Amino acid sequence: MKENNQFKQLAKKAYLNYHEDGIVDLIMGTSCLGAALFFATGSVVFNMFTWMPVLFLMPLKNKITFPRIGYVKFGTRRGRPARMTIFMLITLGLGMLVLGTILFVNTGRLDPTVRTWLGENLILVLGLIFAAILTAAGFTSGIRRLFIYAGLCAAFFITGFLLNLPKFAAFMALGVIIFLSGVIQIVRFVRKYPIPDGE
Amino acid sequence: MTEKKNNIPNEDIRPIGEIDRTVHSPARLMILALLSVVESVDFTFLLTQTGLTRGNLSSHLGRLEEADYIQINKEFVDRVPRTLIRLTNIGRQAIQTYRDTMHQVLDGLLKE
């Protein structure tokens, strides 16, 4: 079936509208802050904050987004699966890269010089991989602010590396910015889309 | 003779008379256009996206359901009950036919 460009725009607009709520930003920001606290304190409790916020995605969407703009399920049409597949492949590839590097470092199969460099700069490597994942997510979803986050992420981690700042500094700075951006968006969203009468 | 000739419908504009009126209504066309780009939506989503009133939207959805162009089901999504509306294959075919017909009719219009 030949696709109509206007219909593609319609799908894109509906998709962006759905992500206008800033909930993903809140979750990403909290995860980054969790990572920062984990690196700052070394406490496993804060490690949980890196993945636990994801569990709140659907409850928050149910509470804030769906009553306001309604529920929409973006299906398998209009090329979205192809984009999602690309994103999943990139994420998987980068994940394998991290895992492979960690295994190489731990099993001692890596050149000692490279191993030492990776051990000292693991945070920088992780930061740049995170920036790459954000870029891939921005590309596949069309959410432009993800590119800004990716740029900030790369900038913070490189600056932290060059200025020899503590490991948690870049995560903290990125987490605060993404979290605040999420808060601003959620406030705007709630004001822009009041709950329709009769709900 | 001239009068008889005038009564013969012009083949070029004849398809206009055969346009599916269920699809042709602006409100229903909006609903079908939205449903054609997603898998399913709920009533609130259509309400906010189309800007129609509740009564108006309900009435148009009823008409589309009668024609089997849409399917309305109650489902549990993330343990929350939702009334989901989706386009049927018949509805998708109807939009395609409508689009083709409109293309055919309007293609030469206003061209030299």
The interface pTM score, or ipTM, of the predicted complex is 0.74
Q: Are B22 and B63 in contact (CB under 8 A)?
A: yes
Is the pLDDT at B3 greater than 60, yes or no? no
List chain B residues with CB under 8 Å of A196.
Answer: 44, 47-48
A71 and B99 in contact by Cβ < 8 A? no
Any domain includes B81:
yes
Of the CA atoms within 13 Å of residue B37, those in its CB half-sphere come to 20
How many domains are contained in chain B? Answer: 1
CATH number (domain holding residue B100): 1.10.10.10
Task: Look at residue B63 and tell me if it is in a domain.
Answer: yes
Q: How far apart are CA A142 and CA A62, in angstroms?
A: 23
Could B42 and A66 be called an inter-chain contact, meaning their C-beta atoms sit closer than 8 Å? yes
Distance CA B2, CA B32 (A): 43
User: Please, what is the average pLDDT of chain A?
Assistant: 81
Per cent of chain A over pLDDT 90 is: 23
Q: How close B4 gets to chain A, by Cα (Å)?
A: 41
Residue of higher predicted confidence among B1 and B16: B16
Q: Do B49 and A14 touch (CB under 8 A)?
A: yes
From chain B, the residues in CB contact with A62 under 8 A are 78, 80
- Rounded-to-integer distance, Cα A55 and Cα A59, Å: 8
For A130, A134, B41, the CA distances from B49, given in Å and listed in that order, are 34, 29, 11
Residue A142 near chain B (CB below 8 Å) = no
A81 touches chain B (CB under 8 A): no
User: Is this prediction's pTM over 0.90?
Assistant: no
Handedness of CA B51, B54, B59, B65 (dihedral sign): positive
Cβ proximity of A180 and A28 under 8 Å: no
Does residue A130 or residue B110 have the better pLDDT?
A130
Q: Which residues form the domain of B44?
A: 25-106
**The pLDDT of residue B2:** 47
The answer to whether residue B8 sits within a structural domain is no
A196–B44 CB contact, under 8 Å = yes
Encoded tokens for B81: 């009950």
What residue ranges in chain B does DSSP mark as E strands? Answer: 40-42, 70-77, 80-87
- Using 50, 70 and 90 to split pLDDT, how confident is the model at A199? very low
Is the CB of A69 less than 8 angstroms away from the CB of B44?
yes
Helix (H) or strand (E) holding A72: strand A72-73
Please, what's the b/e burial string for A94-126 (b: 16 or more CB within 10 A of its CB; e: otherwise)? beeeeeebeeebeeeebeeeebeebeeeebbbb
pLDDT tens column, B70-108: 999 888 776 777 889 999 999 999 999 998 888 877 776
CB contact under 8 A, B42 and A193: no
Torsion (CA) A99, A100, A102, A108 in degrees, nearest 10: 160
Q: Compare CB distances from B46 to A8, A68, A70 and report the shortest one's residue.
A: A70
Model confidence over A138-193: pLDDT tens digits?
Answer: 888 888 899 999 999 999 999 988 888 887 899 899 999 999 999 999 999 999 88
**pLDDT per position as a tens digit, A123-137:** 888 888 889 888 888
Specify burial of residue B59 (Cβ count, 10 A radius: 0-12, 13-18, 19+). middle
From chain B, pick out residues whose CB is under 8 angstroms from the CB of A17: 49
Q: Which residues pair with B42 in a beta bridge?
A: B84
Residues of A in contact with B80 (CB under 8 A): 62, 66
C-alpha to C-alpha distance for A176 and A113, rounded to whole angstroms: 35
Residue B87, in any domain of the structure: yes
Q: Decide if A8 and B37 are in contact by the 8 Å CB cutoff.
A: yes
pLDDT exceeds cutoff 70 at A108: no
